[in-house]
Chains A and B, each alone.
Chain A
Amino acid sequence: METYKPTWIQFKIQYYLYGLIFLIFDVEIVFLFPFAVAFGKLALFAVVEATIFILILLGGYLYVWRKDALTWQ
């Protein structure tokens, strides 16, 4: 059976937003992996630094949250 009108339709913009947020978090995780592997040799200050790194991204995360980009509409 043939499909009605072209199959390869435009997709919802929401998927794009999720893709962007995913990309940011994935890169963050990739940056944190070396930190986690070398954890035994690091000082306490490194943990504080990692926390600051996460908190900076958390700012963007909260912004996205407040803008309702995480809510499926």
Chain B
Amino acid sequence: MKILEFLSNPIIGIEQWIMQLLENWGVTPEWQTFLVYLIGAAILGTGALLITLILIWAERKIIGRLQDRLGPNRIGPWGIFQPVADMLKIFIKEHIIPDGVDPIPYHLAPIISVASVLLLWSVVPFSDSVRGSDLNVALLFILGVGGLGELGVILAGWGSNNKYSMLSAFRASAQMISYEIPMAIVLLATVILSGSMSMGDIVKSQNIAYIFFLPLGAFIFFVASIAENGRAPFDLAEAESELVAGFNMEYSGLKFGMFYVADFLRAFTSAVIFSSIFLGGWRGPGAEQIPILGFVYLLIKSVIVWFLGVWIRGSLPRFRVDQMMAITWKFLTPLALALFIAVAFVMKLLENTNQWLQVLILLVINVALFFVGFAIIKKFEKEKERKIVSSKKRVLAQPTNPFTQSETGG
């Protein structure tokens, strides 16, 4: 019976055991809390970084399959040890510091990049009682720490003493700040629904997952988070054909590895946050009684969302820079603002009615807003269609008659 109880909630069980141990050693209560939190943070950070190893392998394998390749397949069964080998290689590589870099931004950038991702894990609720910290302004924290990622990018670009890195950093920061606006407005709408900014309360208030309240909001948040992570189809900062390799071009060895890890981990972290805010996080049948089930539900939901992101990355071509800016400023932001006003009015007018009625009405409004917005944008953008410069007649490289010379050569 004791073992079952422990197995149903192992994290809290271990925490109590450590607390007991420290108390027997004669540690004061303040230090007990401090030490337990320190151990917890170390485990959470290490766990998140270890997950990345699996994520890198899985992503490369999935992308390979989507593009009709095999993906990594040499080291271990199905190439599963490929990221371990990569990691070893990156650890023993020499740090090459280019001539004339600005040392402080250059060395600080990869650290900030990784830290901004790892910090996000501290507010994710894994079950009713297990979480890093129950911040009551968790959503603001998420937005603020997301801003730190931009800082890492622009420091890397500025410090590298390389024009391509610099241009890439400009692009990346313009993209990131632009996509933060619709994301934050959608978060406002979820705050209206839950009445709290704490992630724990947001998850707990989702008797019906918020994706049914705000399907359009979930769509906007998803697109914005892909763009915020700088992944395809929004990976303009790393456009190989224009900017060589992006802001992290001058980095090698472990510093490049940090950018690499931050990139892959950020994709999964935003999937975890998406599933906490819109899909009900750890909630599911029996998760209140058996907290360990909450982990499993959260993991399943996040992996589904993460897979969706990888799928998009593998299927869509990259946007042009003007298209990317138009998407956020002319489509997502006005839609998000309209959605916010609509949600505020509907929730106020239907304050004490059945939740299913609210869901139904908001669902209709969401779908209507999406189509109306699309129609307006389509009409507006049609006026500015570019003139066709080239002639309609196609120039043939191959002459129609192979025995006579044509005007176009051949």
The residues of A with any CB-CB pair to B shorter than 8 Å are 2-3, 7-9, 11-12, 14-15, 18-19, 21-22, 25-26, 29, 32-33, 36-37, 39-40, 42, 44, 47, 50-51, 54, 58, 61, 65, 70-73
Cβ-defined contact, A26 with B330, below 8 A: no
By the criterion of a CB under 8 Å from any partner CB, how many residues of chain B are at the interface?
Answer: 41
Query: What residues of chain B lie closer than 8 Å to A33, measured between beta carbons?
Result: 139-140, 188, 191, 197
Which residues of the other chain, A, contact B337 by a CB distance below 8 angstroms? 54, 58
Report A-chain residues with C-beta under 8 Å of the C-beta of B334: 61
- Min CB gap A15→B, angstroms: 5
Distance A22 CA – B175 CA, assembled complex (angstroms) = 11
B407 at the interface (CB under 8 A from A): no
Q: Write the B89-119 contact mask toward A (1 if CB under 8 angstroms, else 0).
A: 0000000000110000000000000000000
The majority secondary structure among interface residues of chain B is helix
Pair A3/B161 contact, Cβ less than 8 Å: yes
B174 to chain A, nearest CB (A): 5
**Chain B residue nearest to A7 in the complex (CB):** B161
4 additional contacts, CB 8 Å, given A32-B188, A70-B325? A18-B178, A29-B184, A33-B139, A33-B197
Contact B180 A22 (CB under 8 A): yes
Chain B positions 319-345 with a Cβ under 8 Å from a chain A Cβ: 321-322, 325-326, 329-330, 333-334, 337, 340-341, 344-345
Distance, CA A61 to CA B139, complexed state (A) = 25
Bound Cα distance from A21 to B333, whole angstroms:
12
Which B residues lie at the A interface, using CB under 8 A?
Answer: 99-100, 139-140, 158, 161-163, 166, 170, 173-174, 177-178, 180-181, 184-185, 188-189, 191-192, 195-197, 321-322, 325-326, 329-330, 333-334, 337, 340-341, 344-345, 347-349
The CA of A19 and the CA of B329, in the complex, are separated in Å by 12
Tell me if B166 and A47 are in contact (CB < 8 A): no
State whether A9 and B180 are in contact (beta carbons under 8 Å apart), knowing that A37-B195, A58-B337 are contacts in the complex.
no
Q: Which of A3, A18, A42, A44 contacts B174 (CB 8 A)?
A: A18
Docked-complex contact B166 and A54, CB < 8 angstroms: no
Cβ of B181 and Cβ of A15 under 8 Å apart?
no
Q: SS class of chain A's interface: helix, strand, loop or mixed? A: helix
For A3, A15, A42, A51, which residue has the most chain B Cβ atoms within 10 angstroms? A3
CB-based nearest A residue for B329: A70
Kindly list the 4 A-B residue pairs having the minimum CB-CB distance in the complex, ordered from nearest.
Answer: A72-B322, A36-B191, A70-B329, A22-B177
Whether the pair B325, A29 counts as a contact (CB closer than 8 A) is: no
Q: Is B191 within 8 A of A37, CB to CB?
A: yes
CB distance from A61 to the nearest CB of B (A): 8
Residues A15 and B170 in contact in the complex (CB < 8 Å), given A2-B99, A7-B161: yes
